[in-house]
Amino acid sequence: MKLPVELQEPRGLWLLTALAPLVLLYVLKVRRSRRVVSSGWLWSAAARDLLARSPFRRLVAQVPLLLQALAIVAAAIALSRPALRSTALVGEHVAVVVDVSASMRAIDPERGVTRAALARELAASVVDSLGPAGDAMIIETGRDARVACPLDRDTRRLKEAIAKLDARDVEGQLTPAVGLAVDRLRAVGGDRRVVVITDGAVDDLSLPGAAVPLDVRLVSAPIDNVGIVRIDVRAGTDAATKEDEVQAFALVASHAKGAREIFVTLRLAGVTEPLASRRFRIAPGERAPVLLTFKPAEGDRGKGLVVEVSPRDAFAADDVAYARVPLGARQPVVLIGAAPSPWLERALRSDPNVELSKGTPAELEKTPVAPGTLHVFDRVCPAAPPQGDFVVVGPPTGACLGIAVGAAVDRPAITSWANGDPRLRFLTLDGVHVAKATPLSVGNARDSLVRGTTDTLIADASTPGRTGTIIGFDVGESDWPLKASYVLFMRNTLELARAHRASGQVAPARAGEPIRVPVPRTAAKVEVHAPGEKAPRALPVQAGLAVVPDTGTAGHYLVSWDGRDQGSVLVPVNLTSEHESDLHRRLKADSKSGVTVTAAARPTLSLSDAGWVLALAALAFVVLDVLWLTRAPRARRSGVAPPTRKPA
């Protein structure tokens, strides 16, 4: 059974060693002085004492000794800063901050429940300990802080808000949540207090001193863990067979005290049969890189990949990572026109990693193209921007994708070009002559890539998620194909399209971050199928972008849209956090900041300092000792003779 007292500075008990010299002073014999008296029979007892060989005498209980010993004991305990444990919170207004980051999903080895369950249990006990006039607010903090319940005295509503809290696959940050709690409590008067319930596995390990008392309660003990902290999947080529292959890189970190034998497997999402696997032994504190490769089938492009570590441990959230099969190293390009220019076809075929196909606008409407395809329109302008990157060469007079195309002019001279644009990197247009061109009128000067004596000759028609280029002349009616700058321009355009296609136009995201997905402007309905959700959710679309705001669960998010250019894109979302995987991390606070960090296993929520009571008691014992030693001798009763003692 634990006493309801805690010594905050146990070193103060060293003062108890002063009891030894105190007792020694009372057992040492006093050195006697010699005197000449008329008779020695009255001093026989003192003579026997003088004849004793031991320098010590028998300890006799005396009032001064008792008072002085009590004063030393009281002073020693007062210096050790005793505090009384209490289940009542000190404060009329309490803000309870509950950590709901990914590490709170780890299973506590002693209780067999998650850390989040322990946090909910402790938060409910905080609510139960409120005083009659006290109120509390509940704040959950993961990647961001959110008020789950404002200040309220109704314990039923507070506990309902606590019961809805659950951990998510996101990194945890405490400082923003503490700042939010302090700001909310500043608006109210009286005693205020912030109670933070966390496991200590957070990014910000040093909490600043707050304007109100801040108590941090750590749930669960440190846990050994091995998890994936980084994932990357790329398209490559087998050095032996020269065939396409997918290369999956995973970084596995060990935060365990002993070595472990683990398996790392790679499989397609929804398929149990592994594509590749590796077994190895990971040492304590080691960060082991793992490479898994496989040759993709034709229908595997764009599908989801899952990397797993087995056997699973107490923290399963970082034992799995998600990726996507890349679309391949060869860039698909479609050349559209009634009679495409041979100069365009020759420049596109010069890249060995290009898959070129040709067709007319009517054939393009009937035949679907692969995602990420570069569209090159020769002397024709599409009615709407295609799904991927595009280039329009020699558009007809009129409006083309929001840019006005003027009447043809003869021999326009090139005056300037935008060197900072990625399509015009490492090239110069000096010495390029154009026989005939149709000037382009752009609304913004930044959209002008190449300017001539009359107007813009090459314009930027990019939209969110795609790069668009309009060339206001037929390359066959110029000497540009004979220059090196022409090949560089086509290569730069292909590299931009290849980069957009490699990322699927949507890069892999981290859990908790919003996903921005470019969709066609003709998309009628956009939905997202999130992991763990049975039904899809509709997404709003603005300026060709659909945003998935909530990604608190790691996995594959499938964004699909209907309409003329219907399609879909798979976006992997991962935790992969070193901070969350290290379940040994414990939050520390500077002693000067006024922040107290204690284990939640203790049954108390507040400590009341009782050292001042014992300090007053020590002072009282000293005063009593002085009064006893300086007291006046008691007068004898009159008329009564003192008793005589017979001589021995």
In a domain, 494, yes or no: yes
pLDDT score, position 602: 46
pLDDT score, position 640: 55
pLDDT score, position 301: 82
76's tokens: 């020693």
Shared domain check, 238 and 307: yes
**Phi-psi map region of 594: left, alpha, beta (phi>0 left; psi -120 to 50 alpha):** left
Indicate the average pLDDT of the chain. Answer: 84
DSSP labels for 314-361?
Answer: S-GGGSEEEEE----SSEEEEEESSS--HHHHHHHHTSTTEEEEEE-H
Q: How far is CA 314 from CA 99, 108, 283, 510, 648, in A?
A: 18, 8, 18, 22, 87
Q: Are 614 and 74 in contact (CB under 8 A)?
A: yes
Query: Which residues have CB under 8 Å from 355's CB, separation 6+?
Result: 330, 331, 332, 333
How many contiguous H segments (helices) and E segments (strands) does the chain have?
11, 37
Q: Which residues of 348-377 are buried (b: 16+ CB within 10 A; e: fewer)?
A: beebeebebeebeeeebeeeebbbbbbbbb
CA 484 to chain centre: 49
Mean pLDDT of 460-480: 89
In a domain, 639, yes or no: no
* Burial category of 610 from C-beta neighbours within 10 Å (exposed 0-12, middle 13-18, buried 19 and up): middle
pLDDT score, position 622: 86
Least confident of 155-159, 365-369, 636-640: 636-640
> Is 25 strand, coil or helix?
helix
The string of pLDDT tens digits covering residues 175-225 is 888 889 988 888 887 788 888 999 887 655 455 555 778 888 888 888 999
Higher pLDDT, 98 or 385: 98
Higher pLDDT, 603 or 64: 64
- Domain end call among 321, 350, 373: 321
Distance CA 86, CA 602 (A): 11
In a domain, 636, yes or no: no
Shared domain check, 197 and 336: no
Asked if residue 435 has pLDDT above 60, the reply is yes
Shared domain check, 152 and 48: no
The string of pLDDT tens digits covering residues 396-423 is 999 999 899 999 999 999 999 998 899 9
Q: Are 439 and 400 in contact (CB under 8 A)?
A: no
265's tokens: 């497997």
Q: Please give the helix or strand (H or E) that residue 517 lies within, else none.
A: strand 515-518
Q: Are 84 and 5 in contact (CB under 8 A)?
A: yes
Distance CA 266, CA 309 (A): 9
- Domain end call among 470, 502, 534: 502
Instruction: Print the SS3 string covering 619-637.
Output: HHHHHHHHHHHCCCCCCCC
Mean pLDDT of 521-543: 87
In a domain, 164, yes or no: yes
Shared domain check, 198 and 107: yes
In a domain, 425, yes or no: yes
Mean pLDDT of 508-528: 86
pLDDT score, position 568: 84
Q: Are 264 and 277 in contact (CB under 8 A)?
A: yes
End-to-end CA distance of the chain: 59
pLDDT score, position 480: 95
Instruction: Print the SS3 string covering 208-219.
Output: CCCCCCEEEEEC
Higher pLDDT, 34 or 261: 261
In a domain, 192, yes or no: yes
Asked if residue 593 has pLDDT above 60, the reply is no
Q: How far is CA 304 from CA 327, 389, 527, 550, in A?
A: 12, 24, 18, 20
Shared domain check, 440 and 450: yes
Distance CA 344, CA 393 (A): 9
Q: Please give the helix or strand (H or E) that residue 522 lies within, else none.
A: none
Work out the angle at residue 267's Cα, subtended by the Cα atoms of residues 266 and 268, and round it to the nearest 5 degrees: 140
Helix axes 63-79, 611-629, angle to 10 degrees: 160
Q: Are 170 and 511 in contact (CB under 8 A)?
A: yes
Strands 93-99 and 135-141: parallel
pLDDT score, position 55: 62
CATH number, domain containing residue 256? 2.60.40.10
- Domain end call among 291, 321, 351: 321
Mean pLDDT of 130-142: 87
Q: How far is CA 94 from CA 309, 567, 597, in A?
A: 42, 51, 17
DSSP labels for 438-502?
Answer: --EE-SSGGGEEEEESSSEEEEE--BTTB-EEEESS-GGGBSGGGSHHHHHHHHHHHHHHHHHHH
In a domain, 232, yes or no: yes
422's tokens: 């990625």
270's tokens: 């929804």
pLDDT score, position 352: 86
Q: Could you list the residue range(s) of the whole structural domain that residue 71 is in?
A: 5-85+619-629
Asked if residue 323 has pLDDT above 90, the reply is yes
Mean pLDDT of 450-479: 90
Shared domain check, 591 and 530: no
Name the range with the highest mean pLDDT among 16-20, 45-49, 243-247. Answer: 243-247
Mean pLDDT of 139-165: 92
**Phi-psi map region of 404: left, alpha, beta (phi>0 left; psi -120 to 50 alpha):** beta
Kindly report whether the peptide bond that precedes residue 518 is cis, defined as omega within 30 degrees of 0.
no
The string of pLDDT tens digits covering residues 599-638 is 665 444 455 667 778 888 888 888 888 888 788 776 555 5
CA quadruple 370, 373, 378, 382: dihedral sign? positive
Give me the residue label for tokens 């935008």: 418
Instruction: Compute the radius of gyration of the chain from its Cα atoms.
Output: 41
Q: How far is CA 350 from CA 50, 414, 426, in A?
A: 121, 26, 18
pLDDT score, position 394: 94
Asked if residue 92 has pLDDT above 90, the reply is no
Q: Are 300 and 316 in contact (CB under 8 A)?
A: no
CA quadruple 580, 582, 587, 588: dihedral sign? negative
In a domain, 646, yes or no: no
CATH number, domain containing residue 107? 3.40.50.410
Distance CA 348, CA 346 (A): 6
Shared domain check, 134 and 56: no
Closest CA to 437 of 460, 471, 461, 468: 471
> Is 7 strand, coil or helix?
strand
- Beta bridge pairs of residue 77: none
pLDDT score, position 88: 53
* In the chain, % of residues over pLDDT 90: 43
DSSP labels for 348-405?
Answer: HHTSTTEEEEEE-HHHHHHS---TTPEEEEES---SS--SS-EEEESPPSEEETTEEE
Q: What is the pTM of this model?
A: 0.64
151's tokens: 């200040």
Higher pLDDT, 306 or 90: 306
Shared domain check, 280 and 407: no
* In the chain, % of residues over pLDDT 70: 84
Asked if residue 1 has pLDDT above 50, the reply is no
Shared domain check, 163 and 24: no
Least confident of 25-29, 348-352, 548-552, 629-633: 25-29
Shared domain check, 252 and 215: no
Shared domain check, 144 and 129: yes
DSSP labels for 64-107?
Answer: HHHHHHHHHHHHHHHHT-EEEEESS-S-SEEEEEEE-SGGGGSB
CATH number, domain containing residue 373? 3.40.50.880
Mean pLDDT of 172-177: 86
pLDDT score, position 360: 87
Distance CA 104, CA 102 (A): 5
Q: Are 474 and 444 in contact (CB under 8 A)?
A: no
Asked if residue 644 has pLDDT above 50, the reply is yes
pLDDT score, position 268: 95
Mean pLDDT of 24-51: 66
**Residue type for position 337:** G
Structural domains of the chain, count? 5
Shared domain check, 189 and 128: yes
Distance CA 401, CA 225 (A): 55
